[in-house]
Chains A and B, each alone.
Chain A
Amino acid sequence: MDRRDFIKKLTAGSAGAAAASCAPVDGDKLIPYLVPPTDIVPGIPTWYATACRECPAGCGVLARVREGRVVKLEGNPEHPESRGALCPRGQAGLQGLYDPDRVTGPLARIDGELQPVDWDTAMIRLAELVGDGPIGWIGHHVTGTLDGLVDELIEGQPGSRRVRFETLGYGATMTAWDRLVGRAVVPSVDLSETDLIVTFGADFLETWLGTVSMTRDFAASRRVQQGSRSRFVQVSPRRGLTGDNADQWLSIEPGHEATVATALAAEVIAAKGDDLDDALREVARTWVSGVDAQAAATAAGVDHEQLRTLAGELVAASNPLVLGGGHALAPAAAADLETAAGLLDLLLGATGRSIHPARPSPLSNLSSHADLLETLDLAQRGEIGVLLLHHANPVHALPSDAGARAALEAVPVVSFATMLDDSTMTADLVLPDHSPLEAWGDHEISGGRVVLQQPAMRPLHDTRATGDVLLALLRGNSNETMQQAVRRSWNALHAASGVGGSANTFWQASQRAGGHFAEPMTPDGDETLAATELPTLLPPQTSLAQTADTLQGPADGLALLVFPTIQMHDGRGANRGWLQESPDPVTKVTWDSWLELHPDTAASLGLSDGDGVVVEGEHGSFETVAVLRAGIHPGSVAVPMGNGHGALGELAAGRGVNPIESLPLVLDDASGMLARTSTRVHLRRTEPRPQTRTQLETHDHEREIARFVTLPATAVAMAHHENEGFYPEHEHPEHRWGMSIDLNSCVGCGACEVACSAENNLSVAGPAAVANGREMSWIRIDRFESEHGTAFVPILCQHCDNAPCETVCPVNATYHTDEGLNAMVYNRCVGTRYCSNNCPYKVRRFNWKAAEWREPLDLQLNPDVTPRSVGVMEKCSFCVQRIREGERDARLADRNLVDGDITTACAQTCPAEAIQFGDMNDASSVVATAQRDERAYTLFEELNTRPAVSYLARTQLPASAAAEEEA
């Protein structure tokens, strides 16, 4: 072989090897655009403004799209309520789109089994089933165009029923405001200007109304101004995440919420005296007449004096607000509780100021459980020919005594769903809906403002938007699509809005903004409701006086509270790994249900933390794991809802328990809402179970991780250690990225954790790994209890200037960049884990096993972030890819970076704006300013690690605040 031959063979060989290595296994092309679409540049993200549909709130989102697939959701800053933030559920909406267990095509029941069919068959089957007789529609909260289409369908077939069903409904609130002001509405609430909030359990930071906007407003009211901030008192049997943020918690016996609220109203009437409008006082007196405040307080186990003090504080406050039980508490007297709370708002003048019945939320059209039960009953009796489910899961939402499954099995059921949940499993026809990120829609939020939902990517599967299916069903072959129908609604909105310009300009502006958010005209005239409008309130039902006795079950049992959590909500997202692995903010449980009980109760029953426990009720029993905490009344136990699905998908099925199933079917007579505090249960201890909790120790052992300052003073006592480092100082010539976390604002919701998972391709470790301490989160929220209160401390890599991890890595896999980042070089890491051992903050995460993404979850991966291989260490990078993107954009635009150009995923999504990110070299940046604040401190400063993350101490109101305000 001569030289030429050799080179020929060499080139042929390498070309062959190159070709072989490029050849895709399944025939896909690496870059699929032979003729690239003009608006897609590989590597450059496109953002689409659309709507979040993870709960009824209707927040605005911006979907980040790379190469035709959505890779991240962020809040839409133009949305008037969510204002750029998202909650954990909103962040996890992406996994709803890519859920591996989604229904990928129409299914029809053939020979008793759900089998794939094509859409033509499915549509014919749908038309047959719907026929022209009475039908029942059970659908989740929808507004706008789709709402109109459903109404059209219902109205076209006389005798039909429509149930607008949310598991977490607002019937009690609506009944209350109907009683109070004659309007059955869910008022919109604005916490931002309040100075005293009193709730009877309302979980406004978790699930009640819009989590994001409520958190934002609450945080705003907590910001220290002139040495003070709002005060928050919760009166309830259990303090959840919302209650953990309260300054004071009055523990009351479950079942007494309504009487205590009424007693408080009586005290307020007494304290207000002649300040009250006569008519209002008369009505209020009628309502409270049946309740003796002293006796009610004693019965509920609360000091009457405390109640009087609280009433005094409410009267003295300049902008107080009282909220009822929210979703966290659903007692049998829920409507009475909400009425008493609303009455307090009327008495205190909060109505029209912080709570607006005249500006109702669109949630005001929701049906009650009684409506749902009636429709199911009609179906079972054959008076309704077919039930159409639209993202509704009555089997999971109702006690098994309600017989929802039997009702669904008795009639033909059509389900418009994305997931095969327990109710959809009974369907005869499953018509898979688009994910909200693939579909058109419009959603009304409070005050007539509308969010535009537009598809951010092409549908992944052979699905059809429910709107399109209804249009085809209603209009035959008119060929109008949902897109055109939404556009038609939008033209109507344009006409009504009074905005100038063409309909087309209006449409395009709305597409860019994510909706039409102009300040609405007051719908019903004057917001302040004159007392003359007040309907005469009847004294509460006899039940009010002895509500505790309405609890069923053995008298010596413990009251069972069934509550929703911020992650699981009503359970629709239970198949999302991000949500399952995101710890419950209070108990830090992941991947499971649990039972909360008071340590004293546990001691008397011989139960300890982590024991298995069987909850035995008269209507069913279930087994879960015991979690001991002082934030619950000793006479009660609490179990979260949202898990315990029979179906829904691989991650959800069989995980945890659904306590609702074991509740008796008790409805609040006034509102028709299901009572979730309605029975007493017995507990039986079983074997201890592996703890899937990410934090077991709740005290910080005086290590000053969570610091408090008592207002009006704000300075933190900082022990300054001016230690010289062993190694030369780092230089940060251009930028030094840093973070400031305000513990006074952080409510502990965990949105940052899910946002980080989405942004940085964190793998979902699974329950076994979490039980072994191998979760992969780059940011965690430490929750510490102390005599000062509860504090939530988000802990992420502190990007120390003098980092203990850097010196000990034998291979230089982690080092300090000249922008102040503690960088991690994955492909240099050999996995000694010494860096993690030496990290005082324990924020480093090791890849114990290879990360796996079940298809198509792999499509959610952020292409700007390297997925890590097995055996390497990873940790927070301060979203270095976002920093680089920001720097690159500034360079391309030939301008300097300005504060706010760059932010991390956690800071971006924080509804409380607790996390701030920026350049510490820029003395005027928000971060640098915050780090100079009197409340600023760093963690374990005695170690001289010099973190780039500083914390602002949580504030505490002086103990004598109440007395001072009274004086």
Chain B
Amino acid sequence: MNDPHAHPVDLARIHEDLLAPVAQPSRSYVMALAALAAVLLVGGVAWLDQIVSGLHVTGLNNPVGWGIYITTFVFWVGIAHSGTLISAVLLLFRARFRPAISRAAEAMTVFAVMTAGLFPLVHLGRVWKFYYLLPLPNERMLWPNFRSPLLWDVFAVTTYVTVSTCFLYYGLIPDLAALRDRSKGWRKTAYGLACLGWEGTDRQWRHYRGLYILLAGLATPLVISVHSIVSWDFAVSVLPGWHTTIFPPYFVAGAILSGLAMVITLGIPLRRWLHLEHYITIEHFDKLSQLLLFTSLIVTYSYAVEYLMAFYSGDPIEIDMFTFRATGAYGAMLAVMLLGNSIAPATFFFARCRRSLPWLFTVSILVNIGMWLERYWLITSSLSHDFDPAAWGSYSGSTTEFLVILGSMAMFLLMFWTFVRVVPPVPLSEVKEEALLHGELGQ
């Protein structure tokens, strides 16, 4: 494992290695993208059908007004979290394992939050009136309801998209200039426009670094705020199982857990397919899995506290809810959740598990499944089993909903895999800087 470290600092080689992925796409790559586009199209058609014929094509019903769509919204917003954590928070903390994975994490953030942002629209009864949710000035002084957590969501998510997009783009500028310098024809023009005339002068670098830190400072509170606000969608309601003060930290920890898992899920094939083994090393994955273990412990603690508080409260409705969540179909989901979010990550106490890529990949997939299921478990159980037993119901997703979800996943992957072939998937300038400062890559 030590051989990449054996290399002396060879900036030219780093340059070549990291820009290599930005090349003429291979046939298999194009085919893969086409397949993803096809799945996206199917999802789009399913959504269109839902818009035309109404939400009866979903499995939603009277007590259960939110289901897979909102689950998936929360899931993608959660995924989006680790990007900011890795790029901004770790930047501020000067974590040296950060550069290798920051670009991928940031890109994942932007695309995940874009995907997430679709779902509040997809689940609307009248999506053609979505702009009612925006505080657009109008002559009737008709404003959205500023008391509604859904409106807070609108602000939280749009802020997050804006800041994380800025952050991603800003970090790209020197690399785009490097690409401009080695491109020809229209590509040169395009990269030239995109890099905003970057010349790499000392003055530019000084300004660049200052603003980068500033943006990181701005983005850091969002790591806490966005998912806290998303959690308020539930915590601010009156429903048993939703109305609880633990939700903001619980959701943030869960979000970072799922985000880290997704970074690993994407990072392992990225490293392999784009031949970045020298830059994204086992050391990086080791660090990531330590973080993942840490957040998993917070999440596990939250589960325990939730149950403890429910029974400690003595509120029969709350107790009934948590009993309901632990029995029947919801009990089975709880078991899978615990396996994915608590038990599997606990293996990362052992270094051997942290450094085995197949095991890492397996655990990351388990966490992804577990975290999606956690949101599903949490959302639909409270809705189907709330205050009035006569109004209890049940929910199961429909084909339309699954097609839309599949489409959204395809959209995310399509954007991500396109992105990593258009710009360097590992930040060139930062890796060079790290190498120069420490004489080695990564660690």
Chain A's nearest CB lies how many Å from the CB of B150?
A: 4
Q: Which residue on chain B has the smallest CB distance to residue A774?
A: B61
Q: Which of A25-33, A623-631, A833-841 contacts B (4 or more CB under 8 A)?
A: A833-841
Say whether A833 contacts B390, CB under 8 Å: no
Residue among B62, B125, B239 making CB contact with A830, cutoff 8 Å: B125
Main secondary structure of the interface of A (DSSP, over half): loop
Chain A's nearest CB lies how many Å from the CB of B91?
A: 34
Q: Which of A319-327, A700-708, A900-908 contacts B (4 or more CB under 8 A)?
A: A700-708
**How far, in angstroms, from A697 to B389 measured CA to CA in the complex?**
6
Chain B's nearest CB lies how many Å from the CB of A774?
A: 5
Q: Which of B48-56, B109-117, B244-252, B342-350 contacts A (4 or more CB under 8 A)?
A: B48-56
Taking CB atoms, residues of chain A closer than 8 Å to B64 are 773
- The answer to whether A703 and B237 touch (CB under 8 A), given A772-B61, A833-B60, is no
Tell me whether A926 is interfacial, beta carbon within 8 Å.
no
Chain B's nearest CB lies how many Å from the CB of A848?
A: 4
Say whether B125 contacts A804, CB under 8 Å: no
Which of B109-131 touch A at CB < 8 Å?
Answer: 120, 123-127, 129-130
Say whether A846 contacts B62, CB under 8 Å: yes
Q: Which of A10-18, A393-401, A562-570, A866-874 contacts B (4 or more CB under 8 A)?
A: A866-874
Tell me whether A829 is interfacial, beta carbon within 8 Å.
yes
**How far, in angstroms, from A804 to B239 measured CA to CA in the complex?**
10
**How far, in angstroms, from A808 to B125 measured CA to CA in the complex?**
16
**How far, in angstroms, from A802 to B193 measured CA to CA in the complex?**
55
Q: Which residue on chain A has the smallest CB distance to residue B66?
A: A837
**How far, in angstroms, from A904 to B236 measured CA to CA in the complex?**
33
Say whether B56 contacts A703, CB under 8 Å: no
- The answer to whether A810 and B316 touch (CB under 8 A), given A841-B387, A940-B387, is no
Tell me whether A6 is interfacial, beta carbon within 8 Å.
no
Q: Which residue on chain B has the smallest CB distance to residue A793?
A: B390
**How far, in angstroms, from A719 to B148 measured CA to CA in the complex?**
29
Which of A819-871 touch B at CB < 8 Å?
Answer: 828-834, 836-838, 840-842, 845-850, 869-871
Taking CB atoms, residues of chain B closer than 8 Å to A433 are none
Residue among B61, B125, B142, B145 making CB contact with A831, cutoff 8 Å: B125
Tell me whether B151 is interfacial, beta carbon within 8 Å.
yes
- The answer to whether A808 and B236 touch (CB under 8 A), given A700-B389, A830-B125, A848-B56, is yes
Taking CB atoms, residues of chain B closer than 8 Å to A873 are 125
Taking CB atoms, residues of chain B closer than 8 Å to A769 are 56
Chain B's nearest CB lies how many Å from the CB of A359?
A: 42
- Of B64, B144, B238, B316, the most chain A CB neighbours within 10 A belong to B238
Tell me whether B393 is interfacial, beta carbon within 8 Å.
yes
Taking CB atoms, residues of chain A closer than 8 Å to B236 are 807-808
Which of A776-803 touch B at CB < 8 Å?
Answer: 780, 782-784, 793, 795
Q: List 8 A-B contacts (CB under 8 A).
A: A697-B390, A808-B148, A810-B144, A831-B55, A832-B124, A837-B66, A842-B386, A846-B55
**How far, in angstroms, from A809 to B144 measured CA to CA in the complex?**
9
- Of A834, A842, A872, the most chain B CB neighbours within 10 A belong to A842
Taking CB atoms, residues of chain A closer than 8 Å to B130 are 830
Which of B59-76 touch A at CB < 8 Å?
Answer: 59-66
Say whether B148 contacts A847, CB under 8 Å: no
- The answer to whether A840 and B387 touch (CB under 8 A), given A769-B56, A812-B144, A830-B124, is yes
- Across chains A and B, the number of contacting residue pairs, with CB separation under 8 Å, is 169
Task: Please encode chain B, from 227 to 257, with 1 for each CB lying within 8 Å of some chain A CB and 0 for all others.
Answer: 0000001001111000000000000000000
Q: Which residue on chain B has the smallest CB distance to residue A837?
A: B65
Say whether A849 contacts B390, CB under 8 Å: no
Tell me whether B143 is interfacial, beta carbon within 8 Å.
yes
Tell me whether A621 is interfacial, beta carbon within 8 Å.
no
Tell me whether A943 is interfacial, beta carbon within 8 Å.
yes
Say whether B316 contacts A834, CB under 8 Å: no
Tell me whether A695 is interfacial, beta carbon within 8 Å.
yes
Say whether A809 contacts B237, CB under 8 Å: no
Tell me whether B326 is interfacial, beta carbon within 8 Å.
no
Residue among A696, A845, A849, A939 making CB contact with B62, cutoff 8 Å: A845
Taking CB atoms, residues of chain B closer than 8 Å to A727 are 147
- The answer to whether A775 and B62 touch (CB under 8 A), given A804-B238, A810-B144, A870-B125, is yes
**How far, in angstroms, from A727 to B148 measured CA to CA in the complex?**
13
Chain B's nearest CB lies how many Å from the CB of A629?
A: 15
Chain A contacts to B: CB under 8 angstroms: 695-697, 699-703, 705, 727, 769, 772-775, 780, 782-784, 793, 795, 804, 807-812, 828-834, 836-838, 840-842, 845-850, 869-873, 939-940, 943, 945
Taking CB atoms, residues of chain A closer than 8 Å to B145 are 807, 809-812
Say whether B132 contacts A828, CB under 8 Å: yes
Chain A's nearest CB lies how many Å from the CB of B247?
A: 15
Q: Which residue on chain A has the smallest CB distance to residue B59?
A: A772
Say whether A849 contacts B125, CB under 8 Å: no
Residue among B120, B129, B317, B383 making CB contact with A703, cutoff 8 Å: B317
Q: Which residue on chain B has the smallest CB distance to residue A706?
A: B390
- The answer to whether A849 and B387 touch (CB under 8 A), given A773-B63, A808-B150, A829-B125, is no
Which of B130-174 touch A at CB < 8 Å?
Answer: 130, 132-133, 142-145, 147-151, 154
Say whether B390 contacts A836, CB under 8 Å: no
Taking CB atoms, residues of chain B closer than 8 Å to A830 are 124-127, 129-130, 132-133
- The answer to whether A841 and B54 touch (CB under 8 A), given A703-B317, A808-B150, A870-B125, is no
Chain A's nearest CB lies how many Å from the CB of B20?
A: 47
Say whether B390 contacts A846, CB under 8 Å: no
- Of A783, A784, A837, A869, the most chain B CB neighbours within 10 A belong to A837
Say whether A834 contacts B65, CB under 8 Å: yes
**How far, in angstroms, from A831 to B144 measured CA to CA in the complex?**
14
Tell me whether B31 is interfacial, beta carbon within 8 Å.
no
**How far, in angstroms, from A697 to B142 measured CA to CA in the complex?**
42
Tell me whether B388 is interfacial, beta carbon within 8 Å.
yes
Say whether A703 contacts B54, CB under 8 Å: no
Say whether B66 contacts A773, CB under 8 Å: no
Known: A807-B145, A810-B148. 7 other contacts (CB 8 A): A705-B388, A795-B390, A834-B65, A834-B150, A841-B388, A846-B55, A870-B54
- The answer to whether A837 and B239 touch (CB under 8 A), given A697-B390, A810-B148, is yes
**How far, in angstroms, from A943 to B127 measured CA to CA in the complex?**
32
**How far, in angstroms, from A696 to B384 measured CA to CA in the complex?**
12
Tell me whether B391 is interfacial, beta carbon within 8 Å.
yes
- Of A804, A807, A808, the most chain B CB neighbours within 10 A belong to A808
Say whether B125 contacts A871, CB under 8 Å: yes
- Of B60, B149, B387, B390, the most chain A CB neighbours within 10 A belong to B390
Say whether A811 contacts B388, CB under 8 Å: no
- The answer to whether A849 and B54 touch (CB under 8 A), given A700-B389, A701-B316, A838-B238, is yes
**How far, in angstroms, from A793 to B390 measured CA to CA in the complex?**
10
Tell me whether B440 is interfacial, beta carbon within 8 Å.
no
Taking CB atoms, residues of chain B closer than 8 Å to A939 are 388
Chain A's nearest CB lies how many Å from the CB of B405?
A: 18
**How far, in angstroms, from A846 to B62 measured CA to CA in the complex?**
7
Q: Which residue on chain B has the smallest CB distance to residue A807?
A: B147
**How far, in angstroms, from A945 to B239 measured CA to CA in the complex?**
13
Taking CB atoms, residues of chain A closer than 8 Å to B123 are 832-833
Tell me whether B312 is interfacial, beta carbon within 8 Å.
no
Chain B's nearest CB lies how many Å from the CB of A822?
A: 14
Taking CB atoms, residues of chain B closer than 8 Å to A869 are 126
Say whether B389 contacts A699, CB under 8 Å: yes
Tell me whether B306 is interfacial, beta carbon within 8 Å.
no
Say whether A703 contacts B316, CB under 8 Å: yes
Taking CB atoms, residues of chain B closer than 8 Å to A832 are 120, 123-125, 150
Tell me whether B392 is interfacial, beta carbon within 8 Å.
yes
Q: Which residue on chain A has the smallest CB distance to residue B317?
A: A703
**How far, in angstroms, from A700 to B320 measured CA to CA in the complex?**
12
Say whether A836 contacts B65, CB under 8 Å: yes
- Of B63, B126, B130, B236, the most chain A CB neighbours within 10 A belong to B126
Chain A's nearest CB lies how many Å from the CB of B374?
A: 18
Residue among B61, B133, B149 making CB contact with A773, cutoff 8 Å: B61
Q: Which residue on chain B has the smallest CB distance to residue A838?
A: B237
Taking CB atoms, residues of chain A closer than 8 Å to B393 are 773
Say whether B65 contacts A810, CB under 8 Å: no
